[in-house]
Amino acid sequence: MTAEATWGAAPGPLAGEAADGGRPLRIALLTYKGNPFCGGQGVYVRHLSRELARLGHRVEVIGAQPYPVLDQEDDLPGQVTLTRLPSLDLYRQPDPFRTPKRGEYRDWVDALEVATMWTGGFPEPLTFSLRARRHLAARRGEFDVVHDNQTLGYGLLGLDRIGFPLVTTVHHPITVDRRLDLAAAEGWRRRASVRRWYGFTRMQKRVARRLPTVLTVSGSSRREITEDLGVRPERIHVVPIGADTRLFSPDAAVPEIPGRIVTTSSADVPLKGLVHLVEALAKVRTEHENAHLVVVGKRPEKGPVAEAMERYGLGGAVEFVKGISDRELADLVRGAQIACVPSLYEGFSLPAAEAMATGTPLVATTGGAIPEVAGPDGETCLAVEPADAGALAAALGRLLGDAELRARLGAAGRERVLRRFTWEQAARGTVEHYRAAVAARNPAAPALR
């Protein structure tokens, strides 16, 4: 099986000096899920690769379906290229959990992928790691460092033996999602199904404990990785991610829509806490009749959120939008009176950082790392406990009724993001760990520092 390079040539030696002061690096950035419009992993790959190239490095993103969407800008000192490493794409729409035709099978990894799906498991972290290892083994000497974006598959172990220092990002342990999904599961059949689906987390635990360098995005995630995955704390380094502050910025030309609350929910899962926000909206509308919610995500046809909207008669007060451009998303957030993050847990919360960057005031829970991003209650946001619809409603109602408070929190929130959470800062911090990984493997390579 061969990978398909969509643009760019094989990375050769780079000359000159990168913006961080060392020789430009040749980076292989692996991502088994690259969709930039659903979940944080694709967003991370897109923005980090661009900023690494802006610093002067050469980044080759190696990804499976849904393939990453990468930024190609004429003024980038470095390069960003994409190499497609296709899976069987078993979960694609409109035919998820499909059985491939006989002619689609290429090798034993494909057979393993289908067999795992047939038995209720999620195969992609393992099978992507096996394909990536085979691909990298055929390209010895072409990269200075390999950066894995939370695959944590067995195929990544021992990459140093074939010449590649490895750095891995763990946004947060998927064991957290497993725990919350099990808590919400009704009946033993559903609980058994959840356990089987998350069977890959056992592999991720074993792999994570053997990794030399783990990056994560927050102190909260660092603690979870230590507790859930058993990684030694000294191997884990916090490099916060950020917002695209050029795009997500205040714009007085965008009109503010009275009563509008905006939130992002990439999936109808307990982790995102959307059902609690819907319940809060019903309470808020008893005092603020024009209050309405715009959800960036797919409308659920059934489940707790759909049931709550029907129960409270909110069909006309909740709108779902999907497939919008970055510019449309930024304008949507700018035009809202309030942005809300109701999640029970987040490893970082990009929606919080992006909303704050636009100057839109934020109501957020204290789940996971959200307080590290959103800041102190009453200073840069209004903070409430997770899963508390009453507290959410009180905070939303308070902000809707106080224009001065909205303006103060909005301005303070943007200043916090500019100081702490930009993609350039994330790229510079990541490069420091690339260089440390290269130096640890080959102390006699000062040219890379």
pLDDT (0 to 100) of residue 14: 60
Mean pLDDT rounded to a whole number for the chain = 92
260-420 belongs to which CATH class? alpha beta
pLDDT digits (tens, 9 = 90+) for 394-443: 999 999 999 999 999 999 999 999 999 999 999 999 999 999 999 998 76
Residue 159 pLDDT exceeds 80: yes
Residues 338 and 396 sit within 8 Å (Cβ to Cβ)? yes
pLDDT (0 to 100) of residue 72: 76
* Per-domain boundaries in the chain: 4-242+423-448, 260-420
User: How buried is residue 119: exposed, middle or buried, by Cβ count under 10 Å (0-12/13-18/19+)?
Assistant: exposed
Specify the DSSP element, H or E, that contains 60: strand 58-63
pLDDT digits (tens, 9 = 90+) for 246-275: 999 999 999 999 999 999 987 677 889 999
What average pLDDT does this structure show over 118-138?
97
What average pLDDT does this structure show over 137-148?
96
Residue 252 to residue 6: CA distance in whole angstroms: 39
Residue 364 to residue 441: CA distance in whole angstroms: 42
Residue 440 to residue 418: CA distance in whole angstroms: 33
Residue 196 to residue 97: CA distance in whole angstroms: 15
User: Quick one: tokens of 432?
Assistant: 């420091």
- If DSSP codes are grouped into helix, strand and coil, which group holds residue 442? coil
- Confidence at 10, pLDDT banded by 50, 70, 90: very low
Residue 312 pLDDT exceeds 90: yes
Q: Which residues contact 386 (CB under 8 A, 6 or more apart)?
A: 273, 276, 342, 343, 344, 345, 365, 366, 367
What average pLDDT does this structure show over 233-252?
95
pLDDT (0 to 100) of residue 271: 85
- If DSSP codes are grouped into helix, strand and coil, which group holds residue 420? helix
Residue 7 pLDDT exceeds 50: no
Residue 385 to residue 346: CA distance in whole angstroms: 13
Give the lowest-confidence range in 139-143, 268-272, 319-323: 268-272
What's at 108, amino acid-wise? W
pLDDT (0 to 100) of residue 267: 66
Residue 381 pLDDT exceeds 90: yes
Give the lowest-confidence range in 158-162, 238-242, 410-414: 158-162
Which of 332, 260, 336 is CA-nearest to residue 293?
A: 260
Residue 382 pLDDT exceeds 60: yes
pLDDT (0 to 100) of residue 104: 96
Which of 349, 383, 381, 386 is CA-nearest to residue 367?
A: 386
CB atoms closer than 10 angstroms to residue 346: 31
Residue 448 CA from chain centroid, whole number: 29
- If DSSP codes are grouped into helix, strand and coil, which group holds residue 365? strand
Q: Do domains 4-242+423-448 and 260-420 have the same CATH topology?
A: yes
User: Quick one: tokens of 13?
Assistant: 């030696």
What average pLDDT does this structure show over 122-142?
97
Distances (CA, A) of 396 to 79, 100, 362: 44, 48, 9
Percent of the chain with pLDDT over 70: 94
Q: Which residues contact 378 (CB under 8 A, 6 or more apart)?
A: none
What average pLDDT does this structure show over 333-340?
98
Specify the DSSP element, H or E, that contains 403: helix 403-420
Helix runs in 243-349, H state only: 274-284, 304-311, 326-334
- If DSSP codes are grouped into helix, strand and coil, which group holds residue 158? coil
Residues 41 and 152 sit within 8 Å (Cβ to Cβ)? no
Q: Selecting from 3.30.565.10, 3.40.50.2000, 2.102.10.10, 3.90.1150.10, what CATH number does the domain 4-242+423-448 have?
A: 3.40.50.2000
Output DSSP code: residue 292: E
Specify the DSSP element, H or E, that contains 236: strand 236-238
* pTM attached to this predicted model: 0.88
pLDDT digits (tens, 9 = 90+) for 346-377: 999 999 999 999 999 999 999 999 999 999 99
Specify the DSSP element, H or E, that contains 315: none
